[in-house]
Structures are given as C-alpha cells and as structure tokens.
Amino acid sequence: MSNTFDAIIVGVGAMGSAACLALAKRGLRVLGIEQFSTPNDRGSSHGATRIIRKAYFEHPDYVPLLHETYDLWRQIENAAAADLFHRVGLLLVGVPTGDVITGVLRSAAAHQLDIHSVSEREFDQRFGMFHRPEGAAALFEPNAGYLLVEECVQTMCALAERQGATILRHRRVTDWSIDSHGVRVTTDNETFLADRLVICGGAWAGRLLTYLAPALEVRRKVQLWFACDPDRFDVASGTPVFAYDLPEGFYYGFPSIERDDAKIAEHSGREIVSDADTLDRELHSADTQRVVAFVGRFVRGATTRVTRHSACMYTMSPDQHFFVDRHPRYENVSFAAGFSGHGFKFAPVIGEILADLAINGATHRPAGFLRVGARTTPVVLACGRPS
C-alpha cells in the first residue's frame, strides 16, 4: 500500500465514514484511519438507533441540510440495498411554551413541514402506550423516525471502500503536521502523507484540534433498555419514536426492535468526562433513577425493569450547534466536531460539506452558520488560539 493519498480522514465514526464516502465518490484517493473497529461501541455512534426528524427545534437553519440528508440516506440505502431509515414518525410531548415545542412549530412553519397537533382524543386512541401530562402539547411528525446507527456507519464504510477508499482500523493517529509538501499524519508506527486532512475525532476531537479543545465538553450519556411486551410497544403496534420535554428533563425513546425491550434515555443532564479513553461504562443506580421515574409515569407500554445499558458520549459545543469548518491556520485542514447529542442524522450531508471544504476550500451548501467565525463572540472566545 502506498503511504500517499489525496485526503486523509482521521476518525471513522459517523462523520468520518460519511466524509470517506463523499471524498471517494468524487474520485479522490482516500485514507480513513480509525483507532477502533468500524462501527465501534467506544465513541458516540452505537446503541442500535438514532432519531431522525426535520422539524428542528434547535434552529430552522438546519432544515435545508436535513432535506439533503434525507435524500442522501435514501441514496445510501439504494446503493447498498440496505434498510437503514425506519420512518415510524415522532411523537413529541412537551410544555407548550417551552423551547422544544415552540422551536418545532417555528421550523415547521418556516419550512412548511408536515407536522400536526395531536388532540386528546387522537392521543388516547392512537398513542395509548403513552401518558400525556395535564396541559402538555403533543405534536406528531410523520416523516421522522430512526436510523440503525451501527448499520449506517458500516454501510458508509463499505460504500466508501467500494469507491476505492482505504480504511485502516485499530490504528490511533498520534500526531499530524503541515509542511510545504502537504499533510503528514502519524500513527504508532506509520507515517502517511496527503494533500488534505479531515478531522472527525468525535469525543477525542479536542486532542486532535487543540485550538478547539477549550470549547468542547464531553458528557457521559447512558442508554437504557426497558423490558416491554413487543406486541404493545413495537413498530407494528403503531409505537413511534417519542420525546418528552418536561420541566424535570428531556427524555426520548424508541419502539421495541427485535427484542423484548425498548431503548429509553435522558437527553438532558451533564456528567462531564475528563478523558474519553477512560469513560465509566458501568451502570450505577444514579444512571437509572430519573429515567425509571419517567418510564413509570409516562410510558405505559414498557415496564420499569432495566434489561441492558450502553454508555456513550456527547461532545458539546458552547451553543450546542456543530462546528464544521476549515482550520484557521491551515487551509488544507477541515474538521467536524461538537455534535452536541444531535448530529448523527446529518452525517451524509456533513460528509458532503467536508468534501467541499477539502476540495474547494468552501461549500455552496447552507452551512455557514456552523463555521466557528459565524458564532457569537463568547463562542468564538471559548476556542483557543490557533496553533
């Protein structure tokens, strides 16, 4: 194998596998380097499922990117003859004046998205597996659903390799540097050269991009599965993906898939991880208490018995929007980081944006709001000095 490539991608998780695919499709000689397997359960892209939705409460500017990501997931499914996106709909229950319900309505109105308000009667008839709190709003987004997270990463890697990309697994990048010849990337015992570098390090991004490190906060998130009767809580019984924005926290979950349990977890909460290599993967009683209480109160279709768990990590940016940009000092280095617990659904379009940045230095896609320099002063100041 030659050690010289057109582009090297460091980190082949969600964003890295998508970047490998996008760059390989455009005819570049691509090398992806991943410290674990692809997929793996060490980073942020494991645990069977991820929610995909368009009525984006986080900001309406994400919606055009979501339109493209929906198209790209379909193309990936077609190219691989794979079934990755399950369009089961999303039931959202929440405080009517909260940021989530008002944000969903704002994005839906701005982009004419298909969502509807669920009446009490419809809720009782159709969503009897859930309890609606007194005075809560309920919205249903029929084109939302879930992605099979490990299969998505595996499929994007396989398609990238089919397009000629080389992906090296179980190799940790220890350093990278730039000189007049281009990029030099080193692992424990190899050196690779390329014209361009794309960094997609997930929870390790701060190590690979020291200037961004002060702006990234890694959080421990435990995914829990609860015993349930699949006949009452699977897709065939009409159970959608669901999310509850409550005064006590933000919870979400999925229908039962293949087994007699269903994944339900808390999105809110802040348990900081000082080193992604030493994430605590054990289950503690503090990990279950709040979610068990939520399930007991609001999820009639599941029991409060935890069957299994999986620890995962969010990499938060200060404003919870992604960082997708070129390095401020090196024009041939681009990166995607800080996906703040909501990035997976975007992976294919982020891969295309990274390919645009790597090849053209800019993107025509409406992603300018994700550049570091486009943020408010406190976010820009949270980043360190480029080195």
345 catalytic residue (yes or no): yes
DSSP 103: H
54 catalytic residue (yes or no): no
Q: Quick check: 221 binds ligand FAD (CB under 6 A)?
A: yes
267 catalytic residue (yes or no): yes
Catalytic residue among 221, 263, 326, 327: 263
Separation of alpha carbons 38 and 32, rounded Å: 11
Of residues 345 through 364, those in contact with ligand FAD by CB under 6 A are 345
Site track for ligand FAD across 235-274, x = CB under 6 A: ----------------------------------------
Q: Which stretch binds ligand FAD (CB under 6 A): 111-119, 200-208, 225-233, 292-300?
A: 200-208
Q: Which stretch binds ligand FAD (CB under 6 A): 195-203, 224-232, 293-301, 360-368?
A: 195-203
For ligand FAD, the binding residue among 8, 9, 15, 228 (CB under 6 A) is: 15
Write down the least CB distance from residue 377 to ligand FAD, Å: 25
Write down the least CB distance from residue 344 to ligand FAD, Å: 3
Q: Which is nearer to ligand FAD, 125 or 369 (CB)?
A: 369
Separation of alpha carbons 333 and 8, rounded Å: 10
Q: How is 238-272 classified by DSSP, letter by letter?
A: T--EEEEEETTEEEEE--B-SSSEEEEEES----B
Q: Which is nearer to ligand FAD, 196 or 221 (CB)?
A: 221
Catalytic residue among 53, 220, 309, 345: 345
309 catalytic residue (yes or no): no
Compute how many other C-beta atoms are within 10 angstroms of the C-beta atom of residue 331.
Answer: 12
For ligand FAD, the binding residue among 127, 140, 176, 314 (CB under 6 A) is: 314
Q: Are 347 and 340 in contact (CB under 8 A)?
A: no
Phi, psi of 314 (to 5 degrees): -95, 140
Enter the tokens of residue 284.
Answer: 């503690």
Q: Quick check: 327 binds ligand FAD (CB under 6 A)?
A: no
Phi, psi of 275 (to 5 degrees): -150, 115
Which value, to the nearest 10 degrees, does the dihedral of the CA atoms of residues 61, 63, 68, 71 take? Answer: 170
Separation of alpha carbons 258 and 260, rounded Å: 7
For ligand FAD, the binding residue among 8, 21, 44, 89 (CB under 6 A) is: 44
H or E element in which residue 30 lies:
strand 30-33
For ligand FAD, the binding residue among 7, 8, 16, 383 (CB under 6 A) is: 16
Give the HSE-up count for residue 186: Cα atoms under 13 Å, Cβ half-sphere: 7
Which residues, including other chains, have CB under 8 Å from residue 289's CB and lie 6 or more apart? none
Q: Quick check: 320 binds ligand FAD (CB under 6 A)?
A: no
Q: Quick check: 25 binds ligand FAD (CB under 6 A)?
A: no
312 catalytic residue (yes or no): yes
Q: Are 153 and 38 in contact (CB under 8 A)?
A: yes
49 catalytic residue (yes or no): yes
Burial degree of 120 (CB within 10 A; 0-12, 13-18, 19+) = exposed
For ligand FAD, the binding residue among 85, 127, 250, 339 (CB under 6 A) is: 339
Q: Which is nearer to ligand FAD, 132 or 172 (CB)?
A: 172
Catalytic residue among 312, 326, 342, 383: 312
Compute how many other C-beta atoms are within 10 angstroms of the C-beta atom of residue 356.
Answer: 18
Q: Quick check: 163 binds ligand FAD (CB under 6 A)?
A: no
Chain contacts with ligand FAD (rule: CB under 6 A): 10-11, 13-16, 33-36, 40, 42-45, 47, 50-51, 172-173, 200-202, 204, 208, 221, 223, 312-314, 339, 341-345
Catalytic center residues: 46, 49-50, 263, 267, 312, 345
